Structure 1
Amino acid sequence: MSQQYPQYTNGPGQQFQPGQGPGPSPQFNAPFDPQYPQPQPPPRKPRRWVPWVVAAGTFLLGLIIGTAGHNDNGSPSASAGAPQPTVTKTVPGPAGATVAGPTVTQTVPGPVRTVTAPPPGPKAAITEDGVFLVGTDIKPGTYRNGNEGDCYWARLNSTNGDFDAIIANGNGGNQVITIKKTDKAFETRRCGSWTKIS
C-alpha cells in the first residue's frame, strides 16, 4: 500500500515532494509537519562592537566618579570620603627663647628650735619632806599641816646647814606657821602636807 503525501507548491506551476527542501522562494507557507524538521535560520554573526561599547561606558563611568570627588579648584573635597593626609610643620622660635618647665615646690625644713619650758612656779602646798626655797619652790604665806605628832619644821635664813640659820622652828601636829618673803627656805620633816591658807 502506497502512502500519499501532500504536495506543496512554491509558486505557480512549481511542486516538490516531501523530503526535498523548499525552493529558494521566500514565500514558502507550508503547514508544520512534526515528521519533517523546519528549516533553521542561519546563525547570527557575533557583534564585535559590543565589547568596545562596554569598555567605553566603563571608562566614562569611572571618569565621572573620579571627578565627582574634586572641588572646583581641582583638589579633593572632604566629602569624597578619602582620608586626608596630616602635615606636621616645625616653625623655629626666636633665638634665645626659653621654654618654661613645670613648677616644682620643695619643702625645706627650717632650723630646729629648742624651747625650754619655764620652771614651774612656786607651789601653794607642800606634800613631801625636804628644804624648799621661798619664792622659788613655795610661795610665802600662812600654812597649816595635819595631825602628825612627830612633825618638825624650821624657817631658815640660809641653806648652809648651820644652827644659826634657823629663824624659827617647832614640833607637833596642827601647826600654823607664816613663811615670810624675807625667809630663805623652809624645812619640813614627817609633817605630811602643808596647805596654804592665806
Structure 2
Amino acid sequence: MSQQYPQYTHDPNQQQLQPGQGFGGNPPLGPTPEPQLQPPPKKRRRWVPWVVAAGTFLLGLIIGTTGSNSSGSTTAGTGVPQPAVTKTVPGPAGATVAGPTVTQTVPGPAKTVTAPPPAPKAAITEDGVYLVGTDIKPGTYRNGNEDDCYWARLKNTNGDLDGINANGNGGNQVVTIKKTDKAFESRYCGSWTRIG
C-alpha cells in the first residue's frame, strides 16, 4: 500500500503565510517572537506656555508695584524714606528723567571749644604756690591757728630769696595779697579765707 502525500501548489488567490502563522490559520509550532513595544506618542503640554506667561505677568506686576512710587516717600514694606536722584539721560532733544532727590548731610569743620579757666578762688585749702589773679584773688586773707604756718608773697616763681616780697610764720596770720604780687606760697597753714 502506498502512502499519499498532499500536493501543494502555488495558488495566487490563496493567502500567504506570515511569519509566526501556521498552516490553515492554525497557530505556529514552536516559540513565537515577542512583539516589540513602542512608546506611546508624546502628548503636547499645552498648559506650559500659559503658566510661563502668567508667571511673567505676575512678576512684572510685583516689581512694578514695589519699585519706586511716584510720591518718593517710602518703599512698600520698608518704612524707610528713599533718597531722590535726578539723572540726565541722553535721548531725543536731551530729555531728563526725574528720580528721587538725594540729600547728604556733610559734617562741618570740627570746632574746638576751649573751656575758660576756672575763676580765681577766694579761699586756699591746701599747701602750694598760687598765682595771683589766676588761682586766687588779690585781697586780705586770714588763716587758722596753725603754729607751723609759713607764707610768702612772691615777685616770681623762681624759688630764689630775692623773689620774696614779704613772708611770715605762725598761726592767726593776716596777709594782704596785692595785685602786683606774682604768687602766694602757703605751707602748713591750713585754710586761708578772704576777709577783705
What is the TM-score when the length of structure 1 is the normalising length?
0.50
- For residues 110 and 162 of structure 1, the distance between their equivalents in structure 2, rounded to whole angstroms, comes to 51
* Secondary structure class of the residue paired with 2:185: strand
- For residues 169 and 155 of structure 1, the distance between their equivalents in structure 2, rounded to whole angstroms, comes to 6
Give per-residue Cα distances to partners, 1:80-100, cap 9 Å, x unaligned.
Answer: xxxxxxxxxxxxx97322121
Aligned length: 106
- For residues 147 and 133 of structure 1, the distance between their equivalents in structure 2, rounded to whole angstroms, comes to 24
* Secondary structure class of the residue paired with 2:162: helix
* Secondary structure class of the residue paired with 1:142: strand
Alignment correspondent of 1:159: 157
Q: Is residue 170 from structure 1 mapped to residue 168 from structure 2 by the alignment?
A: yes
CA-based RMSD: 1.7
Structure whose alpha-carbon radius of gyration is higher: 1
Alignment correspondent of 1:15: none
1:1-198 equivalences under 5 Å are: 95-198=93-196
- For residues 94 and 166 of structure 2, the distance between their equivalents in structure 1, rounded to whole angstroms, comes to 91
Aligned-pair CA distance for 1:171: 1.3
- For residues 96 and 134 of structure 1, the distance between their equivalents in structure 2, rounded to whole angstroms, comes to 75
- For residues 96 and 183 of structure 1, the distance between their equivalents in structure 2, rounded to whole angstroms, comes to 80
Aligned-pair CA distance for 1:195: 1.2
- For residues 186 and 153 of structure 1, the distance between their equivalents in structure 2, rounded to whole angstroms, comes to 7
- For residues 187 and 128 of structure 1, the distance between their equivalents in structure 2, rounded to whole angstroms, comes to 10
Give per-residue Cα distances to partners, 1:27-62, cap 9 Å, x unaligned.
Answer: xxxxxxxxxxxxxxxxxxxxxxxxxxxxxxxxxxxx
* Secondary structure class of the residue paired with 1:120: coil
- For residues 194 and 158 of structure 2, the distance between their equivalents in structure 1, rounded to whole angstroms, comes to 26
Alignment correspondent of 1:43: none
Give per-residue Cα distances to partners, 1:98-141, cap 9 Å, x unaligned.
Answer: 12111122111111122121222221111111111111211100
What is the TM-score when the length of structure 2 is the normalising length?
0.50
Structure 1: 5+ residue stretches without partners: 1-92
